[in-house]
A and B are shown apart, each in its own frame.
Chain A
Amino acid sequence: MSETPHIDIDYVANLARIELTDEEKAKLGSQLDDILGYFDKLNAVDVSGVEPMAHAHAVTNVWREGDQPGPVFDPEVLMQMAPESRENQVVVPKVVE
């Protein structure tokens, strides 16, 4: 990765499911290229034989102990935050043609 890094902003914005204006694309694109350039200093480090670290402590999968059914949220309370609802269900734009 010796050449200047460059983000294909349309491609990545689509992966991230974020619509950007042309102005945002131009500004973000150049800022992100600068930031990626700064990341390049990681390439100078010898990481051979080093295990990747995902968490501060060793985290393993655990079975939840004593998981008992408890009170659940009232659907009407949760539905109050939905942008659009009908009969206690969230309404979304038509998904299947």
Chain B
Amino acid sequence: MQDLHFKTITELAALLESGELTSVQLMQAVIDRTAAVDEQVKAFLSYDADDALAQARASDERRAAGQALGPLDGIPVGIKDVLAVKDQSVRCASKMLENYVSPFDATCITKLRQAGAIIWGRLNMDEFAMGSSTENSAYQTTANPWNLETIPGGSSGGSAAAMAAGEAIATLGTDTGGSIRQPAALCGVVGMKPTYGLVSRYGLVAFASSLDQVGPFARTVEDAAIVLEAMLGKDLKDSTSIESLGETNYAAALKDKKGPWTLGVPQEFFGEGIDPEVKANIEQAVDWYRGQGCTIVDISLPHSDLAVPVYYIVATAEASSNLARFDGVRYSHRSEAAKDALTLFTKSRGEGFGDEVKRRIILGTYVLSSGYYDAYYKRAQKVRRLILGDFEKAFEQVDAILTPTSPTPAFKRGERTDDPLAMYLSDIYTISVNLAGLPAISVPSGFTESGLPIGLQVIGKAFGEAEMFAIAHAFEQGHDYYKTTPKL
């Protein structure tokens, strides 16, 4: 039998239901695995084994009483350190929140608890979700389980690495410009960003509010769909949350929707900067769909090359405003050297924030400042609409869009830390999706010659998760990449 920690939610749910497995046994297996490998991987900032086992016992008791809650009951789900879990630290991998303990659960956590999931551990990330390699964590650097010398991607690098290493059965991440999909691709797991508004942001520490979304990492597309389905819904605590305007019975969609689909391939995503192995791999994936009877259409998203500059204006502007709350007064780091109201802010923020966070707050402050607002921020917002328009036009003729998730496989640690612009270009294929508010998923599509994973991105229509999942699921089930696990 395959190790428990590498099984899927659907496999484990069946074992739990038949009584062949208890949630306590499963949780203990995941704890043992984590204890064995996390010294190398460093995916977790912290975890509380006793608390997790107590949740597992409660799940087993529900099941014994005939009150099991569904496929997630008793399944350990790891949580990115940016999401609030009651009575646990929420540090966003920052010194700024070193002492913060959340008095409440994020809405997505509440919903996972209602579905019976075990809330498991705090996963490493780039500080305040700013980065593409998880090297911006103030606490530790996470390794890619496929090659410990390389980065796991970011910002949800801990969530992706924990999945690849078998330290959780599913995990949550957040995606502002690709922070779920890019690490999923680099770590060879499934990662999905929902349509903007589908999952409440209440309890998610805000980075860029018009772009941030919570989403799942999982071993399979079906597992990702199960986790997402549990988190859906309008929430009075987040005025931008919305009931899906599309189909949300994803399990049924995976069974019923078999294509053939009309799929768009944007020429702009295969040009300069793409690694030749990634390019060949994604072209092969496109050919696979063609072989299944799908119609492949060459499309154009002409404003694609502007997505990165638009993103780094819009996102940093929103960040400079959102992160103003970390002021050294109520719950964040306070400088010992603060002598008055002004130095309370300036010194506490100078000490508490890391380099990338400072860089983005300053950039965001600049593009919003008097004299530059129109030239940068307002212009970027206009180009954002043009980017959305490109997608709307493409979706008039296609069901979904296929692209690489990342232009390169995992890169070496330290390779881009001194070149922020090179780091920003890691997200070149994922960012436009956030600007347009669309759903997208990264699904494993093979390996480079040196054994690093590659991811295929499927971009769906707004609220078109059901179709998008079905398209990704078809590819996944036609291959066995998801069954391959790294040797640790």
Contact = CB atoms under 8 A, between A and B. Distances in A.
Given A52-B381, A82-B329, 8 more contacts: A28-B359, A35-B421, A50-B382, A56-B197, A74-B103, A81-B101, A93-B338, A93-B343
Q: Interface residues of B: mostly helix, strand, loop or mixed?
A: helix
Interface in B353-382: 353, 355, 358-359, 361-363, 365-366, 369, 375-376, 378-382
Size category, A interface = 35 or more
Which 3 pairs show the lowest CB-CB distances between chains A and B? A56-B437, A19-B350, A52-B381
Given A34-B421, A52-B382, A18 B362 contact: yes
A35 B363 contact: yes
B340 A94 contact: yes
Contacts of A92: 329, 341, 344
A32 B366 contact: yes
Contact of A47 (B236, B324, B369, B383): B383
Contacts of B63: none
Contact of B386 (A14, A21, A45, A64): A45
Interface in B304-340: 305-306, 308-310, 312-313, 320, 324, 327-331, 333-334, 338-340
Given A15-B365, A53-B388, A93 B103 contact: no
Interface residues of B, number: 72
A81 B331 CA distance: 5
B382 A32 contact: no
A42 B303 CA distance: 10
A2 to B, nearest CB: 12
Given A12-B369, A47-B379, A51-B382, A95 B341 contact: yes
B349 interface: yes
Interface string B258-278: 000000000000000000000
Interface of B: 99-101, 103-104, 195-197, 210, 236, 239-240, 242, 303, 305-306, 308-310, 312-313, 320, 324, 327-331, 333-334, 338-347, 349-350, 353, 355, 358-359, 361-363, 365-366, 369, 375-376, 378-386, 388, 420-421, 424, 435-438, 462
A93 B339 contact: yes
Given A35-B312, A53-B382, A16 B362 contact: yes
B305 A52 contact: no
